[in-house]
A and B are shown apart, each in its own frame.
Chain A
Amino acid sequence: MSPVGLPYFHSVTLDPDRCVGCTTCIKQCPSEAIRVRKGKARIIAERCIDCGECIRTCPHGAKKAVSDSLSALGDFRLKVAMPAPALFSQFEESISIDRILGGLLALGFDEVFEVAEAAELVTAATKGLMEGRMAGTPDAQPRPLVSSACPAVVKLVQVRYPSLIPNLVPLLPPMEVAARYVKEVLHPGESGIGVFFISPCAGKVTAARAPLGYEKSAVDAVIGLKDIYLPLRAALGKAGKKPISHAGGAGLAWAMSEGESKALGERRSISVDGIANVIGVLEALENGKLKGIQYIEALACPAGCVGGPLTVENPYISRSRLGNRAISLMPTATSRSLGCLGSLAWDNPILPRSSRLLDPDMLRAMIMLEEIEHLVGQLPGLDCGSCGSPTCQSLAEDVVRGNALETDCIFRLRETVRELAGRLLALEELKPPGLDTE
């Protein structure tokens, strides 16, 4: 089932010095990808979907995304900053988008290109797809289409809802479209161009390094929004007065829930945000419950990308700000037309990769399942997490997979100790026949 030779790259990692081995993250992880072992949280690479839920919930700040730093600017001749529209939601509305972009230039970037502009291109291509007039895509694509803009959702579908892979919109996400536009249209054939995406989430870091649906990303580095926030704030004062923003309101609104579907103008759509809610909607879709729905905009973070794990502001404050910015703009980019980039279709299909598979041999898997069922019956069912696995069910799976011991359960351990003590007492009662007087 797994693609040959591909390591399971994921960008969420642990800072072992900060991790105290509590069980907060293992309980919050929607793909049950974390275990506490030897007092530290370990991420199971092939299960992590990079949603960043653990980054958001770790009380000790021990989870982070591997991203690049501003020092990477020195590696390139011409540095282009590509801010996700979520960046503008992190600043008060009194600070204009032009000023924020100017701040990026003051930080050492040579040019800026707003990903919101590329989002408009993706909207147009998606409309074409919905109306069945895009070449090179499967004719009978099932409905509803599921947006592929959120990389965590794409990974979730791949590992947990593989039957829904045919529903995914087979188009490049705005980040990638923007990066290709910069390199192929604005600077064709030039060398030394460095494209820096400013990201609200860990998922986009992964999408830039190990993308799904395309071979290699045109993004050269990803800087976490919260890493650039303070330097950028400090640079605002040095920002020029020149108007440099091109993006329209529709593209800007992609960073918040309902933005995508409103831009599409499809009323028979569902907008869902927050990974647990996304799971609920995909579950309903797989059960055949969503008849008549044409489009699903699914975003892993609360309120959409504005609530990304690498943002600094409250998701709902951010959404409100971004909404206000979007309505004060023209709906579409005004000052230039972005028509010259080729097809936005995926380069290659996404293959299923079940993270739940017990064994490739079905009979062997069936035996393991029976062992799991038996073991679950012996566990207390409290899902306390003390064993380091998120639930009793997952501990049973870990034991049967050979990754944990039954006595990792403190209740099972206590029972074992009690049994042992009983046997010791019984042994103590036995006396050699010579001493066993009446």
Chain B
Amino acid sequence: MKYLYTVRGDDFARAGKASTEFKHVLSQLGIDPAVIKHSSVAMYEAEINMVIHAGGGVAEADLSPERVLITMRDRGPGIPDIDLAMTEGYSTAPEWIRELGFGAGMGLPNMRRNADELKVESVVGEGTTVTILIRLPTAGEGK
């Protein structure tokens, strides 16, 4: 089952809407609260990144009884050095974003902490795709 969300790049006040809506879906399905939290944190970080760096994009959340697969695609500037971007504290966010409490260089590392698998693919000048995989502890039963 797939859910598509458009992440608008021009409205910071609405950043986080996609992850909130997907969280609602997960709670309707009775997904384990811990999984909901991991998925929300990872998707929220990715969504904020998209708004700050890439002018928005598309979030796709695909759900099966075994796993949650979140794919965040943007046509932003791309990441020249992914390893560097995965380093805690490394940030290219502009000053005004940091003043809002974001852009501390914790986004990608935090996604990695909350995901079972994280894949970052990026081409400079073309865009970035972040794939977040979170496994569900028990399939089928609603615990």
Contacts and interface: CB of A to CB of B under 8 A. Distances in A.
Contact of B40 (A288, A291, A365): A288
A286 B35 CA distance: 11
Interface string A342-356: 000000000010101
B27 A356 contact: yes
A358 B19 contact: no
A133 interface: no
Contacts of B30: 1, 354, 357-360, 362, 365
B28 A287 contact: no
Interface size class of B (residues with CB under 8 A): 20 to 34
Given A163-B36, A163-B37, A352-B33, A362 B140 contact: yes
A363 B140 contact: yes
B1 A366 contact: yes
Given A361-B142, A362-B29, A370 B19 contact: no
A423 interface: no
Nearest to A364: B142
B37 A286 contact: yes
A369 interface: yes
B46 to A, nearest CB: 11
Interface string B101-143: 1000010001000100000000000000000000000011111
A360 B37 CA distance: 19
Nearest to B25: A369
Most buried by B among A1, A288, A291: A288
Contacts of B74: none
Contacts of A369: 1, 25, 28-29
A288 B114 CA distance: 10
Interface in A151-172: 160, 162-163, 165
B45 A288 contact: yes
Given A286-B40, A287-B41, A363 B24 contact: no
Interface in B25-84: 25, 27-31, 33-34, 36-37, 40-41, 44-45, 63, 65
Contacts of A362: 29-31, 65, 139-142
A360 B141 contact: yes
B20 interface: yes
B16 interface: yes
Nearest to A373: B3
Interface string B77-101: 0000000000000000000000001
A362 B23 CA distance: 15
A289 interface: yes
A268 to B, nearest CB: 13
Nearest to B102: A289
A363 B139 CA distance: 10
A287 B1 contact: no
Contacts of B110: 288
Given A163-B34, A287-B16, A356 B24 contact: yes
Nearest to B38: A163
Interface in A271-294: 283, 286-289, 291
Nearest to A358: B28
Contacts of A283: 16, 20
A361 B140 contact: yes
Contacts of A1: 30, 142-143
Interface in A20-53: none
Contacts of A286: 23, 36-37, 40-41
Interface of B: 1, 16, 19-20, 23-25, 27-31, 33-34, 36-37, 40-41, 44-45, 63, 65, 101, 106, 110, 114, 139-143
Given A354-B30, A360-B142, 6 more contacts: A163-B40, A287-B40, A360-B30, A365-B29, A365-B142, A369-B25
Interface of A: 1, 160, 162-163, 165, 283, 286-289, 291, 352, 354, 356-363, 365-366, 369-370
21 contacts: A1-B30, A162-B33, A163-B33, A283-B20, A286-B40, A287-B40, A287-B44, A288-B44, A289-B44, A289-B101, A354-B27, A356-B24, A356-B27, A357-B28, A358-B30, A360-B141, A361-B140, A362-B140, A366-B29, A369-B25, A369-B29
